[in-house]
Chains A and B, each alone.
Chain A
Amino acid sequence: MRVALFLTCVNDTLYPDTGRAVVKLLSRLGVEVDFPAAQTCCGQAHYNTGYRHQAEPLARHFSDVFGEYDAIVTPSGSCGSMVRELYPRMGERARAEGRDDGLARTLAPVVPKTYELTEFLVDVLGVTDVGAYYPHTVTYHPTCHGLRSLGLGDRPTRLLAAVEGLDLVELPGARECCGFGGTFAVKNSDVSAAMGTDKVRAAESTGADVLCAADNSCLMHLGGTMTRLRTAMRPVHLAEILASTEKEPWS
């Protein structure tokens, strides 16, 4: 099986540790992983801000880069849902606009092969215990696109619960959005900040020292809020927890 890592532009640029963690984790599980260097961005920010037509070349590019792999793994619920949910929709819209099937046909192959990291681990590899060790109290925030678009369900928490040394505590109001929302964070910054603050306070109330999520965009927003609020918690991507072992602790 040829497996490609679709790291996402945000992770590539700002959170390389998450990428390294995915590589380390998958390697430990016996999976060969490629990082096709021609990859850039799935086009989600363009699409969701109303620039669907500008997102199309990015989607085509994605398809070119990843089309020949058997599986495309991404440590981002929202970018995963961009490919899985919105690429088909982009194809349909192009058709509805009187263009031909070209876009839909180009994008179709990558759609079913794209997996969010926890789906790949649980559904494709069939593991929940990845042999990780992480001696911290952790609370998990299910990010919206992972939760509602991809329907990740309890995959992330099953993975976390199997981590040795990890104390998983429930986050009150877990299903509520953290307020990031891409350009929403700046276009409606007051509401976004209020949502972020409420999420951080809820996380704090659990007594956990780590707030975990499977999407660094949301963690960027929450982490930035946490340091501003001077909380003692840290935001950590799920992949980094799963990559951590007793011999090689991640953080």
Chain B
Amino acid sequence: MSGTYLGMPAFPAAARDAVRDTTLRANLRHATHTIRDKRAKAVAELDDWARLREAGRQIKDHTLRHLGEHLLRLEEAVTAAGGTVHWAADADEANRIVTDLVRATGEREVVKVKSMATQEIGLNEALEAAGIHAYETDLAELIVQLGKDRPSHILVPAIHRNRGEIRDIFAREMAQWGRPAPDGLTDAPAELAEAARLHLREKFLRAKVGVSGANFMVAETGTMVVVESEGNGRMCLTLPETLISVVGIEKVVPTWRDLEVFLQTLPRSSTAERMNPYTSMWTGTTDGDGPTAFHLVLLDNGRTDTLADEVGRQALRCIRCSACLNVCPVYERAGGHAYGSVYPGPIGAILSPQLRGTASEIDASLPYASSLCGACYEVCPVAIDIPEVLVHLRERVVQGGEFTRHGAKTTLKPARGHAAERAAMRAAGLVFARPGLLRAGQRLAARTRRAHPRTLPGPGRAWSATRDLPTVPKESFRDWWQRTQGRGAGPAGSSGTASGTASGTASGTASAEGRTDEGKAGA
């Protein structure tokens, strides 16, 4: 993946700054809630949504199970249609291939369709180093690029910016790169869009090389599919002489028929549209129409390793709709940048540590960037159980074990910095294995309850900086039960029974005594 994110602080530290940035919080809250609600409406319109979701899951799973076969079929079909297929094992190889292809045309600039794969490999930076300038043409990507910023959302990379900020970026930066922003530009959406159109139009008309990704690749015909809303993609895919597409190997689907499912689920999940405005499809090259040279760079970059993991591989089903980001309460407050990757939000939290491994601080912290609330799984149109994968990756972080890296089985050591937690978990395990120990602990806590502070020093501050601690009750339930029911101390099955008759002991006792206000959290 791109080096631009290396050295990022771990998620909690990066998120802390975002939480305190009130403008960012407001921008994100407004944007995510708007799209979240719209998505829910768009999805509710379809009475077969659950079946479409299941179909999408199955198509992807089946394809991934026979990925090699489908990719070879795709290569054959693309080649037969006049395209050239290149295989890139990692980011460096993919960047080298694209750079060489652009160099061979003699051009010094390319226009780009919004693409996650090229961001993942840091293509723009690699091209820049070779003296080739890449112009982003998606409106939000343009904002990010002009603002020398990083994308913070898969679909709406400038979601962290409000209109005023965008106006300032356009007015300040456009002139450096081409046609300047019109004088007196305001923050009216129509004016901002028009400024971008005018700025980009000269680039579309001049460019000889286009670079794209693809949402889908159809193996049976060798057809590429790009789904977009603005029409900039259509320009980049049709006007240049040379078209280079960098696509992750998991984007292949076997047949055209499979598109039927995804072309329904993707737009509704991502932009809440029944159908996206522009769906471009092309198969190799066609004489007298569109680019005369087409190159497909098939990107692995950790995908085969991810595929080797039985639990984690479901992340490869992702169609990058970003519904999971829009619904995620953590993303909403932490913002996209805190995830330290071009893939933010829930999907990023399970994808980055698999594609990049868990060696860096940021990658080891990502599986914990979730309260496991499950909202992401609920909306995911290919039913990726993100909480399941998060927990699985937590296990990899704290326990280590075997996984696949660069195609070879590797044994991972448990991550540092979890020693205290590991000890605590072990101690808790010991106590919970012996009810007597649990009882002893509860009694000790009850005896010392008057001395318990409301706030904690050291690591405990993480709780008590913003929340009072619950008060320990005078008596645990099990002690109350034993005292009042008298038979509760025995082994399973031999314990006392609270009878349900009118004069039932339990109800009588429960109301008669023992209830203490101290039992309430923060009461």
A: which residues have CB within 8 A of B?
Answer: 7, 9, 11-21, 23-24, 26-41, 43, 45-54, 57-58, 61, 64-68, 89, 93, 96, 144-145, 148-149, 175-177, 179-197, 216, 219-228, 234-236, 243, 248, 250-251
Contact = CB atoms under 8 A, between A and B. Distances in A.
Nearest to A189: B462
Contact of B480 (A20, A65, A96, A179): A20
Interface in B450-487: 459, 462-470, 472-473, 475-478, 480-482, 485
Q: Which 4 A-B pairs have the closest CB atoms?
A: A181-B371, A224-B467, A50-B394, A223-B521
A145 B16 CA distance: 26
Contacts of A18: 519
B399 interface: yes
B160 to A, nearest CB: 16
B432 A58 contact: yes
B426 interface: yes
B507 A27 contact: yes
Contact of B477 (A12, A38, A54, A182): A12
A84 to B, nearest CB: 14
A228 B521 contact: no
B371 A51 contact: no
B336 interface: no
A148 B379 CA distance: 11
Contacts of B394: 48-50
Interface centre among B378, B459, B511 (most CB of A within 10 A): B511
Contact of B388 (A39, A89, A192, A226): A89
A11 B472 CA distance: 11
Interface string B376-414: 011000000000100101111111000000000000000
B470 A223 contact: yes
B433 A195 contact: no
Contacts of B501: 30
Contact of B468 (A21, A179, A227): A227
A16 B310 CA distance: 41
A34 B467 contact: no
A216 B426 CA distance: 24
27 contacts: A13-B441, A16-B476, A24-B511, A29-B500, A33-B497, A33-B500, A35-B481, A40-B434, A40-B438, A41-B428, A48-B372, A50-B391, A50-B394, A51-B398, A61-B433, A67-B492, A177-B329, A179-B371, A185-B463, A186-B462, A189-B12, A190-B15, A195-B333, A223-B520, A224-B470, A224-B522, A228-B522
Interface centre among B311, B421, B495 (most CB of A within 10 A): B495
Interface in B114-138: none
Given A26-B500, A40-B432, A57-B433, A35 B495 contact: yes
Interface string B124-158: 00000000000000000000000000000000000
Contacts of A148: 373-375, 377-378
Given A186-B462, A223-B522, A235-B521, A181 B370 contact: yes
A35 B496 contact: yes
A187 B462 CA distance: 8
A248 B488 CA distance: 25
B442 A13 contact: yes
B470 A14 contact: yes
A190 B467 contact: no
Given A54-B425, A65-B492, A16 B475 contact: yes
Contacts of B433: 40, 57-58, 61
A139 to B, nearest CB: 16
Contact of A61 (B397, B432, B500, B515): B432
Given A13-B445, A16-B514, A37-B481, A219 B521 contact: yes
A30 B495 CA distance: 18
A2 to B, nearest CB: 8
Nearest to B374: A148
A225 B191 CA distance: 44
Nearest to A21: B510
Interface string B164-184: 000000000000000000000
B312 to A, nearest CB: 13
Nearest to B464: A224
Contacts of B476: 12-13, 16
Given A35-B495, A195-B333, A17 B519 contact: yes
Contact of A33 (B396, B482, B506, B522): B506
B11 interface: yes
Contact of B488 (A35, A49, A221): A35
A31 B441 CA distance: 31
A235 to B, nearest CB: 6
Interface centre among A29, A31, A177, A236 (most CB of B within 10 A): A177
A61 B477 CA distance: 19
Given A96-B310, A184-B368, A195-B333, 14 more contacts: A9-B438, A15-B477, A15-B521, A16-B475, A17-B520, A27-B507, A33-B497, A40-B432, A41-B428, A41-B432, A51-B422, A61-B432, A144-B375, A224-B470
Nearest to B414: A50
A35 B507 CA distance: 14
Given A31-B500, A191-B19, A196-B466, A180 B491 contact: no
B478 A35 contact: yes
A37 B495 contact: yes
B491 to A, nearest CB: 6
A149 B520 CA distance: 26
Contacts of A34: 493, 495-498
Contacts of B373: 144, 148, 176-177, 181
A180 to B, nearest CB: 7
A228 B468 contact: yes
A190 B472 CA distance: 25
Contacts of B507: 23-24, 27-28
Given A20-B515, A144-B373, A224-B468, A187 B490 contact: no
B497 A51 contact: no
A47 B374 contact: no
A187 B469 CA distance: 17
Contacts of B498: 23, 26-27, 32-34
Contact of A248 (B15, B485, B511, B514): B511
A242 to B, nearest CB: 13
Contacts of A20: 477, 480, 510, 514-515
B496 A32 contact: no
A7 B128 CA distance: 62
Contacts of B369: 188
B281 to A, nearest CB: 37
